[in-house]
Amino acid sequence: MQSSDQMDKESLERRRQIEKLKQEMFSKYLTKEARERLGNLRLAHPELAENVENMLLQSALENRIKGVIDDKKLKELLTVLSEPKKGGKITFRRDK
């Protein structure tokens, strides 16, 4: 059985490896300006940044990224992701 301390070390090491993989992929697929924008987004909106990063990583792993993503393309992606979802209108009616 592993101690809690050992499991924490393994978890920390896994997170470091994932972060290293992210940085390698971002340097390969994102321009400097796009990486800076993503870093700024991480400071202002960490949850949105994490969603964008995960989506980019998944796309890269599936070889769906063609070429390099520049700042303009990243802004377009952020616009699409940050738009509120269009849902149906719910109306409550009370019968008298």
* pLDDT tens profile 33-74: 999 999 999 999 999 899 899 889 888 889 998 889 999 999
Parent domain of 56: 9-82
Instruction: Give the percent of the chain with pLDDT over 90.
Output: 39
Residue 73 lies in a domain: yes
Q: Which residue has the tokens 């960490």?
A: 46
Residue 91 lies in a domain: no
Domain count, the chain: 1
Any idea what the CATH number is for the domain that residue 37 is in? Answer: 1.10.8.140
Residue 22 lies in a domain: yes
Residue 1 lies in a domain: no
